């Protein structure tokens, strides 16, 4: 297990995509979104943005790392720096019924990395959206597959 974690850490650093420092946390210009963003039903509420980045002090983070949304809201993850990034949910750290909901969300994502896991975003300004229309309430813990071993983990709480 230690060898796997070490290998993932080395891979993540090698694939870090960009140097930390000068402007690593700055907001990218424009908002170029790739096609094929999975969505079962269009969101009816607020769109919340989560930035995915490599900070100036070499930490891979989701910002904010904790977010509360309502059923019907949409979450848009924005690839800022330190890519590649993705959004993958822990199968044992989601509410009852959330697996079925997330499976439906990811069913049309032909580039997904696996169950409960979206595609890799490799370019600045890439976005990934999930509409939480009809989602079970509760806390959804998620991570970035390439950077999980480096602490890129976050939580999303869905309320009524």
**Per-residue pLDDT tens listing for the chain (160 residues):** 343 333 344 344 444 444 333 334 443 333 323 433 333 456 679 999 999 999 999 999 999 999 999 999 999 999 999 999 999 999 999 999 999 999 999 998 899 999 999 999 999 999 999 999 999 999 999 999 999 999 999 999 999 9
CATH code, 150: 2.60.40.420
* Contact of 70 with 121, CB cutoff 8 Å: no
* Residue 79 included in any domain: yes
- What is this structure's pTM? 0.76
| Number of domains within the chain | 1
* Residue 115 included in any domain: yes
> Parallel, antiparallel, or unpaired: how do β-strands 60-63 and 153-159 relate?
unpaired
């Amino acid at each position: 297990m230690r060898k796997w974690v070490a290998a993932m850490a080395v891979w993540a650093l090698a694939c870090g995509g960009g140097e930390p420092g000068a402007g690593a946390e700055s907001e990218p210009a424009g908002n170029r979104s790739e096609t094929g963003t999975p969505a079962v039903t269009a969101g009816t509420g607020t769109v919340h943005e989560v930035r995915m980045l490599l900070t100036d002090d070499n930490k891979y983070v989701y910002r904010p790392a904790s977010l509360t949304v309502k059923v019907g809201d949409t979450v848009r993850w924005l690839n800022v720096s330190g890519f590649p990034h993705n959004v993958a949910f822990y199968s044992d750290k989601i509410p009852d019924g959330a697996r079925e909901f997330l499976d439906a969300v990811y069913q049309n994502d032909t580039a997904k990395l696996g169950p409960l896991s979206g595609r890799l975003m490799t370019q600045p300004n890439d976005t990934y959206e999930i509409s939480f229309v009809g989602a079970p309430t509760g806390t959804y813990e998620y991570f970035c597959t390439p950077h999980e071993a480096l602490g890129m983990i976050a939580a999303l709480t869905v309320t009524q």
